[in-house]
Amino acid sequence: MQVRNKVCVVTGASSGIGRRTALELAAAGAVICAAARREERLQSLMAECAGSGHSYAVTDVSDRDQVKTLSAHVRRTHGRCDVLVNNAGSSGDHIPFGDPGAVAEIENVMATNFLGAVYCTAELLELLGESAPSTIVNVGSMAGRIPVGGSSTYTASKFALVGWSEALHYELAGRDIWVSLVLPGLIPTEGFPQSDLAADPLLRRALGTEQEVADAILDVIVRRKVERTVPRWYYLVQGPRLLAPPLYRYALRKVSAKYARHRPIA
């Protein structure tokens, strides 16, 4: 699926991976509808996007009414939706489970990281169907495959997104709506600076970039891939879970104890 002249809705587009993805799609000839909460950032993005016909909608994806307004904007302004990139996400405040506020924190993070993607997909599904063949890209995380202590709330939201995405892929395939997953690993962004890991001589080698994730998103759209990890070699990290479960759990206990204070995998 080529993206030239295709209408691509990108959530969480005001910074980080979402912003870089919007810019790359625009450079490839797509028409962008950018959604995020910070209007001044969206206006700046519009000024940087190559081409014409782009638009933006100030949207908090955790609020379904605002997502309905986004959907109405896309239909009114563009008349179609060929690609939806569900990228908006929150890292949360990393409140240990059992502490006051932990349950409320889970509700807040799930509302953005999981339900936000559900709301956007539900409200834009009719347009995606009318525009088929179309594509939904859900930006998950390796934290949705490999849990690490200290980020249980974020991990739960990404596990939910990964499982839902995989099942939805088969549900929508018959309508020619392709659902793909992109799973970033350790990616320094505004919301996930990874400053402690970047300072570690060994672990900083594991860091990817926003550009690599944006390239992966464009790749799964164009080539209609089911899943991509970023960096690619992260795919191998999942092997020990299946091949050597005791070793896998031992390693995770060590990693969790040492790095629980860090921000989670992006």
Residues 185-193, mean pLDDT to the nearest whole number: 68
Say if residue 241 is exposed, middle or buried (CB neighbours under 10 Å; 0-12, 13-18, 19+). Answer: middle
The confidence score (pLDDT) of residue 227 equals 95
- Is residue 170 pLDDT above 90, yes or no? yes
Residues 124-145, mean pLDDT to the nearest whole number: 96
User: In whole angstroms, how far apart are CA 96 and each of 54, 102, 149, 160, 204?
Assistant: 42, 6, 9, 19, 26
Does 181 or 263 have the greater pLDDT score?
Answer: 181
Query: Is position 154 annotated as part of the catalytic site?
Result: yes
The confidence score (pLDDT) of residue 262 equals 45
- Is residue 265 pLDDT above 60, yes or no? no
Instruction: Read off the DSSP letter of residue 261.
Output: T
The confidence score (pLDDT) of residue 245 equals 73
> 3-state DSSP call for residue 210?
helix
| Confidence band, pLDDT 50/70/90 cuts, at residue 261 | very low
Write out pLDDT tens, residues 15-65.
999 999 999 999 999 999 999 999 999 999 999 999 999 999 999 999 999
Distance CA 211, CA 240 (A): 28
> 3-state DSSP call for residue 13?
coil
- Check if the beta carbon of residue 50 is closer than 8 Å to that of residue 73: no
Closest CA to 141 of 123, 120, 162: 162
- The helix (run of H) or strand (run of E) holding residue 72 is helix 64-77
Residues 52-80, mean pLDDT to the nearest whole number: 98
Angle (CA) 89 137 68, round 5°: 65
- What is the pTM (predicted TM-score) of this model? 0.87
Closest CA to 86 of 107, 109, 115: 115
- The helix (run of H) or strand (run of E) holding residue 177 is strand 177-184
- Is residue 11 pLDDT above 90, yes or no? yes
Instruction: Read off the DSSP letter of residue 95.
Output: P
Distance CA 80, CA 7 (A): 7
Considering the candidates 56, 119, 154, 234, report the single residue annotated as catalytic: 154
The confidence score (pLDDT) of residue 25 equals 98
Q: pLDDT averaged over the chain?
A: 88
- Is residue 263 pLDDT above 50, yes or no? no
Distance CA 266, CA 263 (A): 8
| Confidence band, pLDDT 50/70/90 cuts, at residue 145 | confident
Q: Classify 98 in phi/psi space as left (phi over 0), alpha (psi -120 to 50) or beta.
A: left
| Confidence band, pLDDT 50/70/90 cuts, at residue 187 | confident
The confidence score (pLDDT) of residue 256 equals 61
Say if residue 110 is exposed, middle or buried (CB neighbours under 10 Å; 0-12, 13-18, 19+). Answer: buried
- Is residue 211 pLDDT above 50, yes or no? yes
The b-or-e profile of 74-102 (16+ CB within 10 A means b, else e) is: beeebeebbbbbbbbbbbbebbeeeeeeb
- Is residue 149 pLDDT above 70, yes or no? no
- Check if the beta carbon of residue 92 is closer than 8 Å to that of residue 109: yes
The confidence score (pLDDT) of residue 246 equals 78
The confidence score (pLDDT) of residue 258 equals 56
Write out pLDDT tens, residues 216-241.
999 999 999 999 999 877 677 777 66
Beta strands at 31-36 and 134-139: parallel, antiparallel or unpaired:
unpaired
